[in-house]
Amino acid sequence: MESENKKIVENLADLSRINLSEAEVEKFSNSFFDVLDFINKINSFSFEDKENNKKDFSLKNITRKDEVLESSEKEKGEILKNMPKVENGYLKVKKILPN
């Protein structure tokens, strides 16, 4: 059984492209299955008909109105002076969205 556990951990490491030493495989083969056993215990617990399982789902988002705060030209200049790239008075950042 232990060699089977090691093979599973080695396979998972290979699929994850993680290089594990023999000591790490040994360590993880023991603890990995302890974690799986614990998860199975949690999954076996029934949450139905529990008094504490009743939740209030009437929550609403609390939003605030956006307010534009004007900055002086001096403040704007100080901010732009500390930015890595500025173009035409605006911050220039790397493109993150495709065309």
First and final CA of the chain: distance in angstroms?
Answer: 53
Buried b vs exposed e over 25-62: b needs ≥16 C-beta within 10 Å? beebbeeeeeeeeeeeeeeeeeeeeeeeeeeeeeeeee
Domains, the chain, with CATH or none: 2-48 (1.10.20)
Q: What is the pLDDT of residues 52-68, one digit of tens each?
A: 666 666 777 888 888 98
pLDDT at site 1: 61
Q: pTM of the full predicted structure?
A: 0.39
